[in-house]
A and B are shown apart, each in its own frame.
Chain A
């Protein structure tokens, strides 16, 4: 009987192709939105955990100013650190390695080509602390760093812009007044947690940047790798204590610096993610509701149009239940069709979005199954009322209907 009802439903849907399509459009849009949203959301949270993994979960970032979240460089007005702070912290047994960092936006010129990029000044330990490696050439040495010699490392994006695929090692690039010798090429790293291009970078000794580009002795960030066998908490409290002493903060004063570990950043990013997808999902839910009402509307029209057919069916011995089943199956078939198309459209949209946002494409079978089940549910809920109306018809009246 159910199989028969499905056959009938399929026939009636095919008979009214355009109407069926318009009817299920709301469901298609709703399901597609949910699927696209969740798929992109899961992809980006996987991206976040991957980038945290890459950074290492034992990395702490020390910034001047109160605790606040945001992309690097969004720090407040509090006193910056100096290289002496970094040196003091390096002496702590809880600290494995650290890299003081200063950044500056500059244009890098080589021959006719130029690239606007981010210059990162740090110590030779920077590569180790940030889990980065070189594709070619060598790192700059502590001696070069101390002397502030004009040497630098190019990121892949800058290298592409300036030299194409050619080997940049040994070449000279100009940054403002500095003629800087390229000694190494950074390995490709890809997009960061905020979607920024991490390869769009030039690294140089911190003292060179301070003297020749910034003109001061400030350090904006210190990235710290916790020593082996020491917990992030232990290291945090040791670093906090040293920094409070060095910045002469009395007991009643709050920290004027912040210490963030990567796990925290990941949590924060993921929560932003889930708020966003929750918001969009509720929009999608409204769309599903509207889609369901659309199905109800069309089913009511269909029941009225087919009054005579219902009368005939009742006369030849269909029970009210069988008539109910027939119309319910039809509305479920409609909404399921909408759901299936929506799933396909949503996955396609997510696929395109993932490619653009350079995040992994994660199709979760549970979500797809859920969307499938939910669209069936919409069909049952919104199909029930019209189906009941059909089932409750008086056969005599229905047969008389013109």
Chain B
């Protein structure tokens, strides 16, 4: 298995001097292609910061971050935007769909920036919505969809860009137990059938159990890194 995400002694420091906060403090982490990793940890443990750095939304202040073997910590904002556009897909706790915009157009969004012609965009977006079980709801606006459906649209949006990695930040945080497990089932399916690497932040153990590997952050360091229960099942 090839390494897709690699942190080498990564740290992220906010503020200076007295007010200095070390959100990440010399983290080493390797995620291989095709893995399904759950990241857990209390608030302020650095898990969200790690997610932002993996997602190229933020940059480490120290150490090296290699994505698919290429160091990316010194890339410009636009170069990081290109990385996100072509290799990464995001799923957020709050869904983050564009309001007053149809599900189909929401899913098309990353494809616009990829520069796909309109017809291709629509075909791809429809296929992605079908994959998450939302065929027939292409024209619905987020406000006309349930929370679970909205999160499916968000997953379809992440999927439409053909990403190598899907980064899910508390994807079930706003959903009830049944919808949560449905969403996890969908993510597992994508990981298994499409070979998409998934890194997910959660604070619920039963959600983390769906992953195959569990990484726990405490005070900016990794304190546990072990196979999750899902790896057994």
Chain A residues with a Cβ under 8 A of chain B: 1, 4, 15, 308-309, 311-322, 395-396, 399
Contact = CB atoms under 8 A, between A and B. Distances in A.
Given A4-B112, A317-B110, A322-B113, A396 B78 contact: no
B84 A316 contact: yes
B38 to A, nearest CB: 21
Given A395-B57, A396-B57, A319 B81 contact: yes
B120 to A, nearest CB: 14
24 contacts: A1-B112, A15-B100, A308-B96, A309-B98, A312-B97, A312-B98, A314-B57, A315-B55, A315-B57, A316-B84, A316-B85, A317-B81, A317-B82, A317-B85, A317-B110, A317-B113, A318-B85, A319-B77, A320-B77, A320-B78, A321-B78, A395-B57, A399-B57, A399-B96
B113 A315 contact: no
A315 B113 CA distance: 11
Contacts of B77: 319-320
B124 interface: no
Given A317-B81, A317-B88, A396-B57, 20 more contacts: A15-B100, A308-B96, A313-B113, A314-B57, A315-B84, A316-B85, A316-B110, A316-B113, A317-B110, A317-B161, A318-B81, A318-B113, A319-B77, A320-B78, A321-B78, A396-B52, A396-B58, A399-B57, A399-B92, A399-B96
Contacts of B82: 317, 319
Nearest to A4: B112
Interface of B: 52, 55, 57-58, 77-78, 81-82, 84-86, 88, 90, 92, 96-98, 100, 109-110, 112-115, 157, 161
Contacts, number: 58
A126 B110 CA distance: 83
A309 B85 CA distance: 16
Contacts of B85: 316-318
Contacts of B161: 316-317
B57 A312 contact: no
Contacts of B57: 314-315, 395-396, 399
Contacts of B92: 399
B78 A317 contact: no
A316 B98 contact: no
B84 A311 contact: no
Contacts of B58: 396
A interface SS class? helix
Given A317-B110, A318-B113, A312 B96 contact: yes
Contacts of A396: 52, 57-58
A321 B115 CA distance: 14
> Which of A316, A322, A395: most chain B Cβ within 10 A?
A316
A15 B90 CA distance: 28
A395 B109 CA distance: 16
Contact of A317 (B52, B86, B97): B86
B109 A316 contact: yes
Return the 5 tightest CB-CB contacts between A and B, nearest first. A317-B85, A316-B110, A319-B81, A317-B84, A319-B78
A350 to B, nearest CB: 40
A398 to B, nearest CB: 10
A315 B96 CA distance: 10
B90 A316 contact: yes
> Which of B55, B81, B109, B110: most chain A Cβ within 10 A?
B81
Contacts of A322: 113
Given A317-B84, A317-B86, A319-B78, A311 B110 contact: no
Contacts of B52: 396
A313 B77 CA distance: 13
A312 B153 CA distance: 14
Contacts of A308: 96
Contacts of A395: 57
B96 A317 contact: no
Contacts of A314: 57, 81
> Which of A1, A4, A319: most chain B Cβ within 10 A?
A319
A309 B105 CA distance: 13
Nearest to B114: A317
Contacts of A15: 100
Nearest to B112: A4
Nearest to B85: A317
A208 B192 CA distance: 116
Contacts of B114: 317
A313 B109 contact: yes
Contacts of A313: 109, 113
A386 to B, nearest CB: 19
> Which of B86, B96, B109, B113: most chain A Cβ within 10 A?
B113
A330 to B, nearest CB: 15
B37 to A, nearest CB: 20
A316 B78 CA distance: 12
Contacts of A316: 84-85, 90, 109-110, 113, 157, 161
Contacts of B81: 314, 317-320
Contacts of B90: 315-316
A399 B85 CA distance: 16
Nearest to B83: A317
Nearest to A306: B98
A313 B92 CA distance: 13
A314 B86 CA distance: 13
A289 to B, nearest CB: 33
A265 B107 CA distance: 70
Nearest to A402: B94
